Amino acid sequence: MENFTDSLQHFLFENTPIHGNIVHLNHTYQQVLQHQTLPLVLKQALGELMAASALLSATLKMEGAMVLQLQSKGALKLLVVECSSSLEMRATAKWDVERTDEIADSTFLNLVKNGHFVITLDPNSGAPYQGIVPIEGETIAEMLENYMQRSQQIDSSLWLHCDGESASGMLLQKLPEQLGQNLEMQDADAWNRVNVLAQTVTTEELQNLSPERLLTRLFSEEDIRLFEEKPTRFHCSCSKTKVSNMLRLLGADEVNSIIAERENIEVNCDFCNKQYVFDAVDAAALFASEPVIKLSDSTH
């Protein structure tokens, strides 16, 4: 396999308002799976959601994180993927473990019936933005296309694929009118034409062809500019400082009663399985009037 795995490439169609991204996740995805044992249907859904989050987050000008969540009320509770503007990703799933067999036999669509899509943009500076919409569509790609159309008024087409080993995806987007109007007038048919061509993509091509070869295969007559590839990687942003803040929210009474009962508080990160242990001294420091900052924590 050529060396395009774990990377994202941006491209645009010259003299049109259309641009896009192609992503391939291999180790990035494998490392997410290392920390959890998922039924195949959830493995695939999480992989598709990871590919989608990289494709969409790379279209944002914002420095920060994008969080995609599929929330459901049945056997599946939550799929969540976080992708930073530097394409560092983490992801996890929550479900009723007693119903794991039922999930394994179910279709993804059944699992998310009556669920919600929650998209959070969390910039490094400034207030977070959150959009919540009912799930509409039959696939994750369709659900996100609908979300982008309804909530952001951006025409988007997505192709996502995950076989449980690696994930890949392609995004086409038309720039909003005020930005792309002049370009669109030059080539009014471009969006339709490019989409008709893109529809011919097979999952095998999406997974196995390098972005350059895929674009040549799909759009041989089009004038495309392909940008340099950007690496993706697994990274969990959890830290003792963040866990401490969460425990402070629980409050001193609650924390002290857990310590009294079990001696320690153990918190496992849902994303990377890292364990954080707080003993009685750590717990006292949480609620000291002056915050206790250890140098080793402040770098996170």
Contacts of 281 (CB under 8 A, 6+ apart): none
Nearest to 145 by CA among 207, 231, 226, 52: 52
Residue range at the interface with Zn ion (CB under 5 A); choices 114-122, 253-261, 271-279, 287-295 = 271-279
Residue range at the interface with Zn ion (CB under 5 A); choices 33-41, 146-154, 262-270, 289-297 = 262-270
Residue 118, Cβ density class (10 Å: 0-12 exposed, 13-18 middle, ≥19 buried): middle
Taking the least distance from each CB to Zn ion, the nearer of 80 and 238 is 238
Please give the Cα distance from 155 to 191 (Å, whole number). Answer: 9
> Looking only at residues 202 through 241 of this chain, which bind Zn ion when binding is defined by CB under 5 A?
236, 238
Work out which of 52, 75, 111, 269 binds Zn ion, going by CB under 5 A: 269
Residue range at the interface with Zn ion (CB under 5 A); choices 15-23, 42-50, 185-193, 267-275 = 267-275
Q: Cβ of residue 236: shortest distance to Zn ion, in angstroms?
A: 3
Residue 92, Cβ density class (10 Å: 0-12 exposed, 13-18 middle, ≥19 buried): buried
Output DSSP code: residue 4: T
Q: Give the other-Cβ count within 10 Å of 47's Cβ.
A: 30
Residue range at the interface with Zn ion (CB under 5 A); choices 25-33, 209-217, 265-273, 281-289 = 265-273
Work out which of 13, 191, 271, 278 binds Zn ion, going by CB under 5 A: 271
Continuous segment of H or E residues that includes residue 241: helix 240-250
Continuous segment of H or E residues that includes residue 132: strand 129-134
Taking the least distance from each CB to Zn ion, the nearer of 84 and 173 is 84
Work out which of 272, 278, 282, 283 binds Zn ion, going by CB under 5 A: 272
Q: Cβ of residue 239: shortest distance to Zn ion, in angstroms?
A: 8
Binding status of residue 171 toward Zn ion by CB under 5 A? no
Residues that bind Zn ion (CB under 5 A): 236, 238, 269, 271-272, 274
